Each structure stands twice: as structure tokens, then as C-alpha cells.
Amino acid sequence: MPRPMTITEKILAAHSGLDEVTPGQLIECDLDIVLSNDVTAPIAIKEFRKTGLDKVWDPTKIALVPDHYTPNKDIKSAEQAKMMRDFVREQEITHYYEIGCMGVEHALLPEQGVVGAGDVIIGADSHTCTYGALGAFATGVGSTDAAAGMATGQAWFKVPASLKFNITGELSEWVSGKDVILHIIGMIGVDGALYQSMEFTGDTIERMGMDDRMTICNMAIEAGGKSGIIAVDDTTRAYMTDRVEREWTEYFSDPDSEYAQVYEIDAAAIKPTVAFPHLPSNTRNAEDARDIWVDQVVIGSCTNGRIEDMRIAASILKGRKAHENVRLIIIPATQEIYRQAMHEGLFDIFLDANAAVSTPTCGPCLGGHMGILAAGERAVATTNRNFVGRMGDPTSEVYLSSPAVAAATAIAGHIALPGDLG
């Protein structure tokens, strides 16, 4: 009899041809998808060339998404995108998303059905852990590991120990998945889950839609996690049905599986949360941060650029205008989300609020373009990282929040809650 295993251990065992695995064990896994973007793919392509191979392992299982500096902001970024484009054509890679049909990679791949339950996915981007919301093992790797994956279809891992976060009860008004994960990161710290799988359970999670679940798993890396994961349920199945391009496999943790630690969290205790500079763990309740005035608000990214995020922002912005001192930038994460928001009339609300609405791009999240901060400027953003200089000048500051707090802040000019607007 195999030992009782967590969902993560079961997925890794299945992909390594083993009956069981234990935390700390070194294994070699078969991969389902290898992902890279316009920042990391050029490095991976160069490393792949060094193998001497003419062809990638499987052109249907590699996804290349130019999203960080696109539409290209300068000659260098254009050259990087061209290298991707040329490689895609040479290798006949099927999962490539050019300008006009691309999106922010971690919103795009689930939307397009490229990833599904039970997969093992590596991506040369740290927020690849987003796909754990579908019941997959998904983790970020370096470009060299991505190159090896493209060449062989395999990767080695040290099996991570698992942490369980059991979240129960009703969330308060305006509290979302972003607040839940910021609360957890603030509780355990940026290294509180170092090289461990963060498994999210409980009736609070069960009531969440896929957008909130992806937000939570997206930021597992901000606690040092190797991955984030949520078991498949009817909500996941409804999302994947007629979407995921191949059969998926559902795995569930055994009732007596071992966890490095179990955290019991009362959802009612979680309030709208803001992460102050310069760490996602530097969290405070938004109601205690109203003295922070800002110059810019960004609503978007792989964390909070999905349709529900757009709807929440629109519900707060409707009939109001951004503060005269605030630049409000809204970036739907994919073309489909862009189209849906447009047809639902959300763009009219955004434009009436004096917001700039962008084509999908990572842009300002990493200080790339579409919203760079000058010296001393402050931004509230629905992004996932607020390190020194993350969005521009090293003396600028980034405060992380939910779309609800970000939209209210854009109107008030300082960090605010929707209820503050009257």
C-alpha cells in the first residue's frame, strides 16, 4: 500500500512513474506543458540551441506568450519578440499567441484550455503557480530548466512538503481572494512556505469562483511557495468542461496525509488588506492606511486582470471620476476579457472615470512600460509584487491591493475602502 499522500505528492508520483513519493525525494517528472514569455524565452531558446537538437520534444506542449514588453516598447524588446516568433515558426509550436490574440500568460493559458487538472507544468515565470487553481502542479523555473523541458519533456524536482491552509466561514463585504492571500502572506512571511506546496481548502475556498482561486494560487510564490494548489470540485469542472484541450485527471489529498503544518483561518477575521512597500508580507488593514496618498492606480495583471476584477472595479467607479491627481490605468488580462468588458459596458464606465484602458500586457507590473513611476511617486496596484523599484524609480513605492480597494483609492486619491466614497 502506498503511503497516504497529498494532492501534490500524488501528481508528482504519477508523472514520475512511482507508486509513492515523500517530501525531499529527488524525482524526474514527465511534463505536460512548458511555458515561457518574451523576457525568458530568448534565454531558453539560446540554451536549447546548445543541446544540438534540431527539434523540440513536442511542439504541442510548449507555450510561448509575448506579454511582458508587448506591444514592444523599444528595439530590444522587439528583437526579443522576433526571436520568439522565429523559433515558433521554425519549430511549428502550436501554443503561440501573437499581438491581437495574446494575453497575460497566466490568465491566457487557463482561459484557452492549455492547462488542466492533474498536469505538471513548468514556466519560466515565477507566477506559473497560478494553474494550481485547476488542481495542477505548476511551478516557476529558470530559463535553463525551461530549455531542458523543451528539449526532453522532463524536469527534476525535490518533492515539496505541503502546508494546508483551511479557510472557513463567510468573507466580509469587499473582501476577495486577493485579501485572503495577502492576509496569509502577512501571517507567515515571504519565506513562510519556502519550497513547500501551499494547499488551500475549506468552505470559503469552495464558495469562490475560479478568478479568486487563481489569484490565491498566483501569489503562493510571494510566500516562498514552490506551488499553490486547490483540489478540483464542481466549480473547477464547470470551468474546464469544453475548455481544456485534453483529458484531465483529478487528484485529492488522502484524509490522513501528512502536512508540515496546518493553518486554520477564520474568513470573517480577514479585512480588506494592503501590502505596504517593499514586501508583499508588509500587510496592514486598508482601513488603517487612509493617510497614504497616491499618484497612480493600476488595475490588471496576471493576479487581478480577469473579468470579475473588471466588474468589481466598474461597480465602484460607475458614476465617479478618478481623483485629479491620480493616473488610473486599467488592463484587462486577455483579449477575451477585453472584449467581454467592452460588451458589458465596463469600458464606458472606465472612460467616464478618466481611466486609460490598455490592450493586454504585463507592462507596469514589472516596470516595463504603460505606467512607470518617477522618483518619489506612489502607486496602488492589483499586481503581485512590490519590491524596491518594481514599478519604476527605486524611490517610488508600490502598495498591493484588491481591485475594490484600488478602484476606491483612484477616486479618493488616497488608500480608501468602497464604503468611504458615500
DSSP symbols for 202-234: SHHHHTS-HHHHHHHHHGGGGGT-SEEE----H
pLDDT along the chain (422 residues), means of 10: 91 96 97 96 96 95 94 93 96 93 94 97 96 98 96 97 98 96 96 96 97 97 97 98 95 96 97 96 96 97 96 97 97 97 98 96 91 96 94 96 98 96 84
Any idea where the domains of the chain sit in the sequence?
7-265, 272-421
Of 176, 236, 227, 233, nearest in space to 202 by CA:
233
Q: Identify the three-state secondary structure at position 21.
A: coil
Of 345, 387, 351, nearest in space to 367 by CA:
387
Measured over the CA atoms of residue 409, residue 398, residue 177 and residue 117, the dihedral's sign is: positive
Contacts of 218 (CB under 8 A, 6+ apart): 106, 127, 129, 130, 181, 228, 302, 303, 384
Contacts of 65 (CB under 8 A, 6+ apart): 35, 36, 37, 38, 96, 97, 102, 103, 105, 108, 109
Strands (E), 309-410: 327-330, 356-357, 378-381, 397-400
Q: Which CATH number fits domain 272-421: 3.20.20.140, 3.30.499.10, 2.60.40.1180, 3.40.50.1390?
A: 3.30.499.10
pLDDT reported for residue 325: 96
Of 170, 185, 199, 163, nearest in space to 266 by CA:
170
Q: Residues 198, 166: contact at Cβ < 8 Å?
A: no
Residue 370 Cα distances to 82, 276, 298, 383, 391, angstroms: 21, 22, 10, 14, 10
Q: What are phi and psi of 138, to 5 degrees?
A: -135, 130
184: cell is 496569509
How far apart (Å, rounded) are the C-alpha atoms in residues 210 and 221?
A: 19
Put the strands of the sheet holding 120-123 in their side by side order: 95-96, 62-65, 33-37, 120-123, 137-140
Check for a shared fold between 7-265 and 272-421.
Answer: yes
Instruction: Say how many CA atoms lie within 13 Å of 243 toward its Cβ.
Output: 17
From the DSSP assignment, how many helices (H) and strands (E) are in the chain?
A: 14, 18
Q: Which CATH superfamily is domain 7-265 in?
A: Aconitase, domain 3 (3.30.499.10)
Grid cell 491591493 is found at: 401
Buried b (16+ CB within 10 A) or exposed e, 82-91: ebbeebbeeb
Give pTM, 2 decimals: 0.95
Cis-peptide, bond into residue 278, ω within 30° of zero = yes
The distance of Cα 348 from the centroid of its chain, to the nearest Å, equals 27
Q: Identify the three-state secondary structure at position 397.
A: strand
Residue 312 Cα distances to 20, 84, 108, 188, angstroms: 43, 35, 20, 28
Cis-peptide, bond into residue 360, ω within 30° of zero = no
